[in-house]
Structure 1
Amino acid sequence: MIALRRHALARLSHAPGADNEADREHAARWHDAGRPFVVTRRREASSAIGLGFCTTDSEHPELRPRRVAAHADAGLLVGLALPPALEEIARCPAAAHHAGSFSRLAIAAAAEGITIRVYGSWMWQALTADRHVHEASDLDVLIDVANIAAADRATAFLAEIEPALAFRLDGEVSFASLGEVNWREYRQDRPEVLLKSIDAIRLTPRTDLPE
């Protein structure tokens, strides 16, 4: 089992809690269907872990999926996994419409030695087969980086490849044990970056990132 972190896929021994009865019922049905929850961050003044998932309306598929927030004590965790790799997303039926772009991105990333994982709507589409992806959906990418040099290389790669793709690239680079930074914001080269971790969201001097 991987370390607890944002975007990790969590499986629980029991259904999680939520802030209202309707969401608790949604979360129980999601859990009973054997579907994972995505880790967000720890809840303030509590040891509970924030979780999320997205539901669709089968009677009204034109509606955008609804994001549902849940929470669970760490003791309920029975499994943690990284979000699916780009290659897994590319194999889901919905990706066939953009097969050329997925192939181009995967080949270019492999050539650069960059591992891309995917969260957000494309992840839920691949994991559930429900309609989460729409024509204007971005591809939310997650790239683990060891240091500033790796982050520079990964974000430069995303900026260079994006114009050749049929979809917009959103997402983050993730510094081990520190947290995640939106890749576009990182490219702005400001003295501080907004670092999101499982414990906090904070402006962090770029000089505090690992070299």
Structure 2
Amino acid sequence: MPSPALVLPDDRAPIGRHALVWLDPTRWDANLLTRLDPELYPAVRSWIAAGYPVVARRRDNQDPEYGIAIGIPLSPQRGGQRMALCVAPAAVRSVRRPPLLNTILDAIPSDWKLPLNNFASAIRPHDVGVRVYGSLMWQCLTREPYLHAGSDIDFLLEVNNVAALPYILQLIQRWEQDHGIQADGEVLLSDGRAVAWRELAGTRARLLVKSLASVELLPRKTAMRLLQSLHS
């Protein structure tokens, strides 16, 4: 039987990059717009019945334009499949942003508590919203094993003080070196798109910017303007 889902604070939001989507367990299958392998149906039904969210993903050419593209990354103990589905809006019960790191610290596995508590403490004075997605988030939400010794940690950063950005990027790099953990992740822009923090830490004139709809190269100056206008 699946473990009960971790209860998150009410943090509802439009469907954006890395958004968590809760489906109505009584309506999702009637509003499924993509063909689901019958062998995978029990796993999807069990996942949704347990109260676990799915995650918004980029729509591909096979997804109907009016549908909501979603994904379910099963844990290794469930087979480890990554399922891409598409549902009609009527299947959606609620949408939330990825959880803030400080709201899941108590649920983090013991082997990861020290480095992640250190990260939270180090970045706290710099007015940054640190959200998590990927394996760490899924393990905390489902209490199923996603993390392993070589896992990276995915952060989604909401930078409120752009002047502090260089220091924040240096802080992440030092944290990686101190703890031997790779920090992947992105910095959120004002239009809902995001850019990898490593791109911002580099020197390229054009940065790869991603959204649920597209992936494109933007001039660094344009990306920085979008970052500066996030809270203007």
* Fold shared by both chains (TM-score > 0.5): yes
Higher share in strand:
1
Secondary structure of 2:150 counterpart: coil
Q: Does 1:12 align with 2:23?
A: yes
Percent identity (aligned): 28
- Per the alignment, residue 130 of structure 2 pairs with 116
* TM-score when normalising by structure 1: 0.85
Q: Does 1:31 align with 2:48?
A: yes
Q: Does 1:2 align with 2:17?
A: no
Deviates more, 1:162-171 or 1:151-160: 151-160
Residue correspondences, number:
206
Q: Does 1:189 align with 2:203?
A: yes
Could you tell me whether the CA contact under 8 Å between 1:174 and 1:181 is conserved in 2?
A: yes
Q: How does 1:56-205 map to 2 (within 5 A)?
A: 56-58=75-77, 65-92=80-107, 94=109, 96-145=110-159, 149=163, 151-205=165-219
* TM-score when normalising by structure 2: 0.78
Q: Does 1:40 align with 2:57?
A: yes
Q: Aligned-pair distance for 1:53?
A: 1.9
In angstroms, what is the RMSD of aligned CA positions? 2.4
Q: Aligned-pair distance for 1:36?
A: 0.4
Rate the CA distance shift 1:75–1:208 in 2: closer, same or farther, 3 A: farther
* Structure 2: 5+ residue stretches without partners: 1-11
Rate the CA distance shift 1:148–1:99 in 2: closer, same or farther, 3 A: closer
* Structure 1: 5+ residue stretches without partners: none
Structure-1 separation of matches of 2:214 and 2:200: 18
Could you tell me whether the CA contact under 8 Å between 1:86 and 1:116 is conserved in 2?
A: yes
